[in-house]
Amino acid sequence: MMRLSIRICEPCDSAGPVMGVMAPKVSTSHLWHDIYPHAFATNRSAQLAHSHTLGCMAPSQREPKVVVLGGGSWGTTVASICARRGPTLQWVRSEETANDINEKHRNTKYLGNEVELSPTLEATTDFSEAAECADVVVMGVPSHGFRGVLEHLAKELRPWVPVVSLVKGLEQGTNSRMSQIVNEVLPGHPAGILAGPNIAREVAEGYAAAAVLAMPDQSLAANLGNLFRTKRFRTYTTDDVVGVEMAGALKNVYAIAVGMGYSLGIGENTRAMVIARALREMSKLGEAMGGHRDTFAGLAGMGDLIVTCTSQRSRNRHVGEQLGSGKSIEEIISSMNQVAEGVKAASVIMEFAEKYGISMPIAREVDAVVNHGSTVEQAYRGLAAEKPGHEVHGSGF
């Protein structure tokens, strides 16, 4: 059997030839007018009233500066994409990581030594420096630290600056989505999320991929989308913030379920069944919370679910496999250098299921294993005991 492998090697528009065609860097200076239209008021008093947005230089004279907060694999990958499009600064906690990015164009800790980042990407450990120069903020910190970073940001950030989350999780304790936290801590700042089937290492290596940027204002989303878009990274837009955020949080829980199945040696048909039924559970809850059904059939839903359940680089699938090998959840988490959001989301999802009166058997079994001492074998026996009913309207597995 012949195997056909297609790889697009350069992760940016400007880094080199694509299929023999040199791709020039695309200027994003025109985006400034669209992101901050009030900054071009002809009335002098109006200009002065919005001088907080302009900084030291008129926006028409420079490109918008993207600030990415967080030094993990996905935050760094997105920062590198943005740096190909315009000025980008990444805030990281570690001086070692900042030096690695600035001097070697690498984030060795999270992306290995082989992935070369955009040479124009700059990094800093100075939070104030990052916050004060931001025209667009991209939040790449985990859900458990999201609010704290925003509260710090609120003291430094100019009004009206858009905030785009990369987080596919929910806040424990409040059950809040990330955009809800932005609206609470930074009222008046447009909030959205960028999500999709995006294994960070693959995107960083230049393989073709896509994501969807969800924001309530579609005009703003369309213009911000250009900051994340290259010939190999397609960025779509939607106004369904709820649906995209819930899809991102839910798929992590189901990836743990599929990972548990891998450890048990289940067949491909069984895996496909679990993924398909997981998508139905996701859609039911997402719609009940105000999301759109079509979102769950798209990149943030089905697309991200498939890759997170099947990729060997998936952190949440890894958690499920390790649970199946007999390790405790505490052992697994302590051995990982990045967060598996599905672990924290499992209990939150069950609270939502109870609130909206929705049966979610797969999520129930994952929560039982992660939080209540059940075994992987018991989880799959529990699913097998569910009586099948109507595929769309039934409540069982």
Catalytic annotation, residues: 251
- Is residue 52 a contact partner of residue 159, using CB atoms and an 8 Å limit? yes
For the chain, report the end-to-end CA distance as a whole number of angstroms.
Answer: 36
Query: Quick one: which H or E segment has residue 4?
Result: none
Q: What's the rounded Cα separation, in Å, for the pair 7 and 207?
A: 6
DSSP result, 195-211: ESS--HHHHHHT--EEE
- Is residue 70 a contact partner of residue 141, using CB atoms and an 8 Å limit? yes
Q: How many CB atoms lie within 10 A of CB 175?
A: 15
Residue 112 is given by DSSP the state B
Identify the sign of the CA torsion 193, 65, 162, 104.
positive
SS3 162: coil
Beta strands (DSSP E) in 200-343 are: 209-214, 233-238
Q: Which amino acid is at 113?
A: N
SS3 123: strand
Query: Quick one: which H or E segment has residue 283?
Result: helix 268-288
Give the C-alpha distances (Å, rounded to integers) separating 149 from 20, 137, 341.
44, 12, 17
Q: What's the rounded Cα separation, in Å, for the pair 151 and 130?
A: 14
β-pair type (209-214, 191-195): antiparallel
SS3 137: strand
Q: Which two tokens stand for residue 379?
A: 């989880």
